Amino acid sequence: MRRPRTLACLTAALLGIGALTAGTAAADVPDTGAAKSDNITHLASDPMTGPLTGGVNTDIAFAGKTAYVGNYSGFAIYDIGDPANPALISQVSCPGSQNDVSVYDGLLFLSTDSSRSDNSCQSVSQSPTIKESWEGIKIFDVRDPRNPRYIAAVETKCGSHTHTLIPDKLRRSVYVYNSSYFPNATYPDCQPPNDRIDIVKVPLRNPEQAAVVASPILFPDGGFPGSETGYETSGCHDITAFPAKNIAAAACMGDGLLLDISRPEQPKVIDRVQDAANFSFWHGATFNGDGTKVVFMDELGGGGGAMCTPEVGPNKGATAIFDIKHRKLKFRSYYKITRHQATNENCVSHNGSLIPVRGRDIMVQAWYQGGFSVWDFTDSARPKEIGYFDRPPRDPAGFGGYWSVYYYNGAIYGTEAVKAFDVFKISDPRTDSAARVKLKELNVQTQPAFWG
């Protein structure tokens, strides 16, 4: 089943070019009418400014005391040494949907999933039917966060919607698993069936030599064929790696995959699941702390629909929990927020991360205008919410809410898609021990093994 590129998650609401600018410290934004659990405190909010104003905030990556925030118009870098007072260090104007970010060894990787006139940050939109159009991965040197330098670009056949970093064992290179989808017979560089992923190898000493080194086929049988409610598989949306166990979970439109990544240039499918009854679009994945479970998100409606209503119900637009037994995925249950949202609030399962609590499986997850939820899936069959934050519907009505909400070194960070970069704290005996886990770097799609 073919569907047009109309999902909010996929459209390129891009702006003009601005200068690299430095910002000032964040200010609190009143949460008039917000509903929340008693264990959640809103610490700070930094509204979009400068060249990113009017863009869409997307993903977040972390290194040391710095956060990197993607935006359809570029990216921003924040000092989060004091989570209650994040300070904007710099912004880079570099339009290109959807500008998901990751960081590694002083390099920042940026996904461009909209057809552009060239690979520069001064490019303009250009039809993908034109052979010379460009989409792919941009690489920046961010060792000096006040002066990021654009150093390389790698074109990929269908652009780069999201990407996942997998360091090689010797730490001389990093592999970038590139996810993209929606091929079209009129696109010279993105022809159907797009049954593969592209793998980019980046030599750390010479990142300008980054190049596609493999394009393994994951769906030799074509993948999920589509249904009245579910997308046919024509690529992957997102991949989450768990390098400590040499596995990855790939969310691929109509399919959920478990991959063996022990040989990074030759990933192999070791299990595959489908859910024609309830899943529309396999969107992303999160492992638990020891890699014995994985949850997959279903982005029903593409992020732009009101999917948290009684009419939609508890099993659609939800998160599915799987145990991993003998390298096989075993479905256990669905999780979805129970606070019904209004019909003018876009709400669906979206990006989240684990909160590292030894002996428990707890994560925080974004639900767009459904806010975010902290929930426990230690009992895979009986997940339960233990915290939340939820603003009233936007006035006037429109797209908004939290795109990504992640836990990092004692605080919760969220990208309110059309407003701000927000910081929260959870104070709860069930999660307090997580603050003792300190990471030097976090790309949520490259999960560390906290224990196991």
DSSP for 146-165, please give it. Answer: TS-EEEEEEE-TT--SEEEE
Q: Say if residue 193 is exposed, middle or buried (CB neighbours under 10 Å; 0-12, 13-18, 19+).
A: middle
pLDDT tens track, the chain, 452 positions: 223 333 435 433 323 333 333 344 444 556 778 999 999 999 999 999 999 999 999 999 999 999 999 999 999 999 999 999 999 999 999 999 999 999 999 999 999 999 999 999 999 999 999 999 999 999 999 999 999 999 999 999 999 999 999 999 888 999 999 999 999 999 999 999 999 999 999 999 999 999 999 999 999 999 999 999 999 999 999 999 999 999 999 999 999 999 999 999 999 999 999 999 999 999 999 999 999 999 999 999 999 999 999 999 999 999 999 999 999 999 999 999 999 999 999 999 999 999 999 999 999 999 999 999 999 999 999 999 999 999 999 988 999 999 999 999 999 999 999 999 999 999 999 999 999 999 999 999 999 998 76
CATH superfamily of domain region 35-442: YVTN repeat-like/Quinoprotein amine dehydrogenase (2.130.10.10)
Reduced to 3 states (helix: H, G, I; strand: E, B; else coil), residue 230 is coil
**CA-to-CA dists, residue 82 to 24, 42, 70, 292, 352, angstroms:** 14, 14, 21, 34, 22
State the Cα–Cα distance between residues 220 and 204, nearest whole angstrom.
33
Closest listed residue to residue 400, CA positions, set 365, 364, 366: 366
- What are the backbone angles phi and psi of residue 77, rounded to the nearest 5°? -120, 130
pLDDT value for 21: 39
Global pTM value: 0.94
> Position 202: which residue type?
V
State the Cα–Cα distance between residues 415 and 276, nearest whole angstrom.
31
Q: Are strands 352-355 and 362-366 parallel, antiparallel or unpaired?
A: antiparallel
- What are the backbone angles phi and psi of residue 262, rounded to the nearest 5°? -60, -30
State the Cα–Cα distance between residues 145 and 69, nearest whole angstrom.
12
The tokens of 284 are what? 């992303």
> Residue ranges per domain, the chain?
35-442
CA dihedral 89, 93, 96, 97 (to 10 degrees): 40
Which DSSP state fits 345? S
> Position 222: which residue type?
G
pLDDT value for 451: 75
Residue 398, by phi and psi: left (phi above 0), alpha (psi -120 to 50) or beta? left
Strand partners, 27: 45
Closest listed residue to residue 144, CA positions, set 98, 186, 106, 116: 106
Strand partners, 347: 306
The angle formed by the CA atoms of residues 336, 298 and 416, to the nearest 5 degrees, is 75
pLDDT value for 29: 53
Distance of CA 337 to the CA centre of its chain: 19
State the Cα–Cα distance between residues 233 and 217, nearest whole angstrom.
12
The tokens of 343 are what? 């019909």
Q: Which residues of 256-273 are buried (b: 16+ CB within 10 A; e: fewer)?
A: bbbbbbeebeebebebbb
Closest listed residue to residue 297, CA positions, set 246, 237, 223: 237
pLDDT value for 33: 86
State the Cα–Cα distance between residues 79 and 42, nearest whole angstrom.
18
State the Cα–Cα distance between residues 297 and 321, nearest whole angstrom.
9
Reduced to 3 states (helix: H, G, I; strand: E, B; else coil), residue 244 is helix
